[in-house]
Each structure stands twice: as structure tokens, then as C-alpha cells.
Structure 1
Amino acid sequence: MPIATVNPANGETLKTYEAMDEEELERRLRLAEATFRTYRTTAFADRARLLNRAADLLDEDRAEIARVMTTEMGKPVRQARAEAAKCAKAMRWYAEHAPELLADERPAESDVKDSGASHALVRYRPLGPVLAVMPWNFPLWQVVRFAAPALMAGNVGLLKHASNVPQTALYLEDLFHRAGFSEGCFQTLLIGSGAVDEILRDERIKAATLTGSEPAGRAVASTAGQMVKKTVLELGGSDPFVVMPSADVDRAAEVAVTARVQNNGQSCIAAKRFIVHSDVYDRFTERFTEGMKALKVGDPLDEETQVGPLASEQGRADLEELVDDARRGGATVLCGGERPDGPGWYYPPTVLAGLGREMRIHREEAFGPVATLYRAADLDEAVLIANDSPFGLSSNVWTREAAEVDRFVRDLEAGGVYVNGMTASHPAFPFGGVKRSGYGRELSGHGIREFCNITTVWHGA
């Protein structure tokens, strides 16, 4: 895949870049290693000052970088501005909370005495240069939710961003440099995916994080395993959205539309499988389908657009194949399902019902504005359908019954359970999944500690 900005609204190639050569990559790896030796000793207050400055600059740049993101990958520009604001918020959150999240931990005095020590503690120390392999769908947020905690922990980062968002990738490097971080603290590597393996094998890289496809995650995890390096993986998702009879069905249907089509439906944590109790299935289906039909699809730079184009021509083709396979298998298309005429990689909001387990869309992630509807006879069947997926990123449940909430929290196989609301990441809460959605956690204290050396310090009596 060429490293280029291709406008998904019309297919026009706007800017192309040459991949960095081996000499430049070597220079950047040396710089990262050298910078870490000194940056690791900086005080939290100094790191926080730099990160807060980066947040201020990002706020100033919000309108400009939002247009860049929209032009590179097609998200509605209002959502792009919101993404930039969210990134600034996360930077400030980590700047404020990192000292307490990484503070020394003191074991119970009785355990210290029992170990024969006069005193003991647990300290969090940075690992070193971390390689981040990031996707195009949230081109700022995916990077910042790694970079903010990593930098506050004293690590340095090297970013291999998706090849279709090079301008956003270069902006991020420039942002941290303008904020005052040393050049080696955060560097963008303009390279193809084929170069990742060799970089990950380099002894100067101490860990890696990847958000992306399952095949990409397997490749990075395999190499990291051979090299005995820590990894965090956030892969695909096919999140269930369960609606029970006690729910506010109209509100659930309204939120369901947003949950499905946020970011043009290209979000790992977007609700994708809508599992509705038989008692409210018809009502929910009617409201939900009406809401999907009413969405405004169009130019993502138009302030009124709610759904823009998919990020790539191949992404649209993959989505079409899933819908066509379901249609051939007997699924009912309640709305959408046909590629529109005209330029750009648009696909209409689509609702499918009558799904079967043999259909590809039942077990594969639909990365676009396509929703699948399932009817459940009771809570037990709802849980079975929800868990009948290779993925386990997050989940949404709508009910007013406390006992049902307890059951879903106990039994749903997912990294999150959102009750009477849609999944959304926040810097204070851990984010990640189970099963083939990956492992490890981002955000919160759990996320900042993923790339720390958890060190036991023991003093004899």
C-alpha cells in the first residue's frame, strides 16, 4: 500500500510520500535509544508541563487537523473536531494523574516484616522505546491514548501509522516537538507494514502496541513472542447491543443508530449486532430502521453530514461482500444494502435481519455502517447470541432490571459492559478486550502500567 493521502470522498490522490530508507530508520532508532537514557530520569512535573503544552497546541490546531483527518480517511468533520478535543482531554488527564497512578506502592507492614525486610516497596519504571502500530480509523485518538501515558511514564515512542493517514502521522510528531519534547521522545516512521517485523526484532525496541486487524495483531504478537517483548493488542470487535423488555426502547433505538454509524461505522467498539427480546423486537426494529434511513450521507466536510465515505475502496468492497453473502443466505435487507452511484467510497446505512450462523457477517467484523438484527426469546438466549462471536471487545445492554444487569455483567464475554448507553472510551477507564479482540489494556492506571517495569525494592532488616 503506498504511503499517500487519497481523499475517500472522490478517490483523488492528494499527496504521496517516499518510505524512509534504512539509514534514516537507523538514525531514528539510535535517537530513540539515546533520548530514553535521559528522558527516563525527568520529573513528572516536567513531563506534565510538556504534555499540557501539547494539549494546548492541539486545541489551537483543532479545526485544521480535523480537516486533514477528514480528507485522509473520511470521517465527518464535526466528529474529527470532537476527536481532537478528546485527545487534548486525555493528555491533560494523564498529565494530572500520572504521578498518583505510578506512585510507589507500600506492601502491608505485616507482609514486610514476614519477608524479613526492614521496609519494601513496588516502583514503576519505564521500559524504553515502544513501537506503536496504529490504524487509520481514529488517526489521532488511537495514537494519543498510547502516547500520553507512555510519555508520562518516561518511555519514548516510535509510531508506524497506517499508510493512508501520513499527514496526520507527521502532524503528531510535529505536535510533540512543538510542545517541547525532545526529538527522540516521539517519532513518526513513514514505512510500509513490511518493515515492522525487522524493527520489532531490533533490541532497542523494548515493547510494542498495536491497534488494528487480527492478522496484523497475530504477526506482531508472533514476532514479539520470539523476541520475548511485551505487547498490547486491541484488535477487531463485533459488539452486541442487547435490548430487554424493561428498557426505554425508543431511547435504545435512538442511541443504537449512533452506536452503529459513529465514524462511518468504522470503529472496533461500534455496536454491530443488535440482539432484541421478542417482546420489543418489532418496536425496536421499526424505530432503529427509521433512524438508519434518516441519516444524512454525503461530503464529510459538510457540517450536516452524519455518514461519510468508507476510508478505502477495498474496505467498501469487503463490506459489500459480507452483505451480499448474507443476502444470498436468506437475510432480509430492511434498508440500504446497495452501493450508490457516483464518486467516492460511500456505502449506505444498512440493516439486516434474519441472520444465520453460517453467514460470514455472523462471525466476521462488519467495518462500516451495516447492522445485524437478532431476535432473542429470553435473557438466556440473548447471552448465548451475544457470546456467539470470536470477538469480545465491549458490549451494550439495555434493561431496568438489576438482576438482569448482574447477569449480563457476570456472563458477557467482553472487556466492557455498558448499561443503558453506548460504549465510549474515556481516559479514566481501562479499555481492551478478550478472545480475538486482543489482550492488555489501554487508558486508566492499567494502561499506563502496561509498559512499565514493575520493580520490587526490598531492604533487609
Structure 2
Amino acid sequence: MAIATINPATGETVREFAPLDDGALDKKLALAAEAFRGWRATSYAERADLLRRAADILDDEADALARIATLEVGKTLASSVAEVGKCAKGCRWFAEHTEEILADVPHEVPGGEVFTRYQPLGPVLAIMPWNFPYWQVFRFAAPALMAGDVGLLKHASNVPQCALAIEDVLRRAGFPDGTFQTLLVGSGAIEGIIADDRVRAVTLTGSEPAGRQVAAAAGKAVKTSVLELGGSDPFIVMPSADLDDAVSNAIASRMLNNGQSCINAKRLIVHADIADEFERRLVAGMEALRIGDPMADDTDCGPLASPDAVQTLHQQVRDTVAAGARLLTGGEPLPGPGNFYPPTVLTDIPDGSPAHREELFGPVASVWRARDVDDAIRIANDSTFGLGGSAWTRDESEQRRFVDEVETGMIYINKFTESTPEVPFGGVKNSGYGRELAAFGPRTFVNAKTVWVAPTEQRSGDVE
């Protein structure tokens, strides 16, 4: 795949980039290893000061950075501005809390001073996706840099300008040369980078097949890995819920980033008693969304990231309908230039169909009907994925059951799933392993070293 900026709203190739050759890549890996030796010796206060400077740059240049993301990804400009702001928030949060998170942990053991000390591992390879081109990177980079690690970014090939902008922000904030580097390479270079002795760990956010390949390479090299592989998140609505609130949040969650988010509400599981009314309001709300230029202030839904994304999504919709699902609205790519697909609603989803078994990465909502709370939990768990989910109910007993029994890494009650630096992020099952953010962020790529200092025995002649 070419490393290029291709405007998804027009199909125009804006700028192309030459990938690093083997010699240039080797120099960057050597620089990362050298930078780590100095960076690990800096204090938390020094690191935090630089990270706060990065946050200030992100805030000051939010509009310009957002326009790069909208140009490369097609998300609305408002959502890109919000994403840059979230990155600044994340930088400040980890600047404030990492020293406390990584403080020595004492253990009460007879016979000495015993504690756990967290020490950085070294250069960490981050393989990141295009859908949140800034936040996905900063949610790794901010805690890793604060922990004393250094970063190597292999970003998605369709967001090279975002990748270079991140490196530029951190450089101008004062991070030493080599502390964070963007590697403009294709996916074929990843396995070799992971195997390189100078790289000590790897994190990936991406597809399930990519995750399996990276996990295999990391396992072969015996290196720490974290995987976030997407999901098909349940969004459960019970009769006691505020229906207006549930519908508006279902649309907001499903349409976040033009439907291209790992934690979008993808499977809407609605109690049968309210399903007809829910579907009616859902369709009306989806049809009211304005589709168009993502740079325009009045656009609700922009293009998908690539022509391949449109083709894949449309084939999944067609195959699901062919299997017996009903199409309530949408379902056909829009004519003209750009990668536009309309907000779409499917219902009566057959078992084994793509909407049942696969992640639909785009503005397509699938609706299931549940007989009761047991059936809702069964449908929610009938997925190979387990990233996030939400449940909408005022019934406290139902809330407890959803919290205890829905098989996801995250469950939100009367709120749609989101990531924020204060709380852990990650999934189970085929959604991957490991956690990011909160205390897990700084503690992921460190050596939790056990230290035992036995008392020095004093000889009688040493003391008067």
C-alpha cells in the first residue's frame, strides 16, 4: 500500500511519501536505542514538563492539526478538533499522575526492605490505525514517555501527515532527538522491527488478522505486546430506559467518526416491547443526518476512509440482507466522488450473517430484539468480540446483571462507551488483550522489578 494522503471526500491524491529504506530504518532504530539510555535517566518532573508543553501546542494548534486529520481520514472537522483536545487532556493527565502510579510499592516481608520498582523497558513499537490518528497514538505515547520508554510509531499508511505532525509536536515541545520517531514504512517491515533486539515491546490497535500476526511475531521474539482489535459492541435498551435518550445516544455512538470506531454501538439490542418505536425513531434520526464535506460546519456524516472500506461495508450489508435481514434505510453507496456511504439500519439479523459475526466498520446499525434481560445478555455475548458495551435501563437489578454478565472489557450503564485517560481501556475475547490508559498506561511497558534489601549484619567489633 502506498504511503500517501488521499482525500476521502474527493479521491484526490494530495501528497505521497517515500518509505524508509533499510539503511534509514536502521539509523532510526539505533537512534531510539541511544535516546533511551539518556531518557530513562530523566526525572518524572522533567518528562512531565515536556508533556505539558506538548499539550499546550496541541491546544494552540488544534484547528490546523484537525484539518490534517479531516483531510486524511474524512471525519468531520468538529470531531477532529475534539480529538486533538482529548490528546492534550491525556498528556496533562499522565504528566500529573504517572509519578504516583509508578512509585515504589512496598511489601511487608520479614527480613529486609522489600518493594517493587517500575523501570522502563526501552523502545516500544506502536502500530496504530487511521480512524483516530492522533488519540490512538497519544494514548500510548503519553504514558510510555512518562514511564521512561521511547516510542517508534508505525502509523497507518493513509495518515502520514498526521504521523509526522505528532513527531513534530513532541519535538517542538522539547523531547530529545530520538525519543519519539515516526517510521514511514509499509506493513511488510513490521515483523523485522519487532524481531530487532533494540525494540523491547509492541502495541497494536487494528484488525483481528493484523493482531494475530503481531502477537505471533512478538511471541516468537518473547516481547511484551498489547492488542486492541476492535469490536462489535452491544447497546442494550430495556423498557425502563428513557427512549429519547437511548435513541439519540445510539445514533451518536454509532455515527462517531462516520461509524468507524472500535467502540461504536454496533449491535443495538432492544427489548421487544419497545423495539417498534425504537426502530421508528432510529430510522428517522439516521435519515435526518446531513452527509457531505467533512470540512463543512453543518456536516454530520463524512466519507469513509477509503474506497475499499466502502466496498467491504457494502458487501457485508448485501450479504446480511441476502441472508434474510430487513433493510430499513440506506444500504447503497452514494454516487459521485468520494467514499460516501449513507447511514443505514438493518433489523431481523440472521444467525451467521456478516452483521451477526463480523465488525461492520461504517455507518450501519444492526437491531436485534430481546425477549427479556436473559435474552439480551445472550445476544450481547453471542459474539467473538468483547471490547465495550452499554446498557440503558433504570432498573438496578438489570444494571447489576449487565455489569456482571456481559462479556466485555468495558460496560457503561446509561452512557455510551468512550475512552478517557482516567479509566482503563481494552477488551476480551477476539478484541485483544492488555489494557491502556489510567494506571495501566504507565505500567504496561515497564519492568516490575522485585527488590529485596536484606539488613547488613553488624559485627560486635564494629560498635563500641
**Aligned equivalents of 1:32, 1:444: Cα separation in 2:** 26
Shift of 1:90: 0.2
Shift of 1:358: 2.1
Deviations 1:97-140 (A, max 9, x none): 01111111112x3xx11xxx221111111000000000000000
Shift of 1:373: 0.3
2:164 matches 1:164 = no
* Structure-1 residue corresponding to 2:221: 227
2:353 matches 1:359 = yes
Q: 2:288 aligns with which of 286, 294, 304?
A: 294
SS in 1 for 2:106: coil
Shift of 1:79: 0.3
Identity of aligned residues (%): 56
**Aligned equivalents of 1:122, 1:428: Cα separation in 2:** 23
**Aligned equivalents of 1:122, 1:388: Cα separation in 2:** 40
**Aligned equivalents of 2:126, 2:334: Cα separation in 1:** 36
2:74 matches 1:74 = yes
Kindly report which structure 2 residues correspond to 1:28-427, keeping only aligned pairs within 5 A, or say none: 28-107=28-107, 109=108, 112-113=109-110, 117-427=111-421
Kindly report which structure 2 residues correspond to 1:429-440, keeping only aligned pairs within 5 A, or say none: 429-440=423-434
2:24 matches 1:4 = no
Deviations 1:273-328 (A, max 9, x none): 00000111112111111111111110000011111000000000000000000111
* Structure-1 residue corresponding to 2:22: 22
SS in 1 for 2:119: strand
Deviations 1:413-434 (A, max 9, x none): 1000100010010101000000
Shift of 1:216: 0.7
**Aligned equivalents of 1:438, 1:245: Cα separation in 2:** 32
Indicate the RMSD between aligned Cα atoms, in angstroms: 0.7
| AA partner of residue 53 (structure 1) | R
TM-score (norm 2): 0.97
Deviations 1:39-66 (A, max 9, x none): 0010000000000001101111110011
**Aligned equivalents of 2:235, 2:324: Cα separation in 1:** 22
* Structure-1 residue corresponding to 2:439: 445
**Aligned equivalents of 2:8, 2:354: Cα separation in 1:** 26
**Aligned equivalents of 2:281, 2:415: Cα separation in 1:** 17
**Aligned equivalents of 1:187, 1:232: Cα separation in 2:** 19
SS in 2 for 1:106: strand
After superposing the two structures, state which structure 1 stretch, 402-411 or 369-378, moved more.
402-411
SS in 2 for 1:231: strand
After superposing the two structures, state which structure 1 stretch, 287-296 or 260-269, moved more.
287-296
**Aligned equivalents of 2:374, 2:16: Cα separation in 1:** 52
After the TM superposition, list the runs of 4 or more consecutive aligned residues in structure 1 that deviate by more than 3 angstroms.
none
**Aligned equivalents of 1:186, 1:229: Cα separation in 2:** 20
**Aligned equivalents of 2:159, 2:294: Cα separation in 1:** 16
| AA partner of residue 170 (structure 1) | L
**Aligned equivalents of 2:98, 2:411: Cα separation in 1:** 26
Deviations 1:397-422 (A, max 9, x none): 00111111111111111000100010
**Aligned equivalents of 1:253, 1:224: Cα separation in 2:** 42
How many residues are paired up? 455
SS in 2 for 1:184: coil
| AA partner of residue 290 (structure 1) | A
**Aligned equivalents of 2:102, 2:68: Cα separation in 1:** 35
Shift of 1:6: 0.2
* Structure-1 residue corresponding to 2:458: none
**Aligned equivalents of 2:362, 2:126: Cα separation in 1:** 24
* Structure-1 residue corresponding to 2:461: none
Shift of 1:85: 0.3
Q: Which segments of 5 or more consecutive residues in structure 1 lack a partner in the other structure?
A: none
**Aligned equivalents of 1:224, 1:358: Cα separation in 2:** 32
**Aligned equivalents of 1:102, 1:119: Cα separation in 2:** 18
TM-score (norm 1): 0.98
Deviations 1:328-374 (A, max 9, x none): 11211111111111110000000001101121221000000000000
Shift of 1:183: 1.5
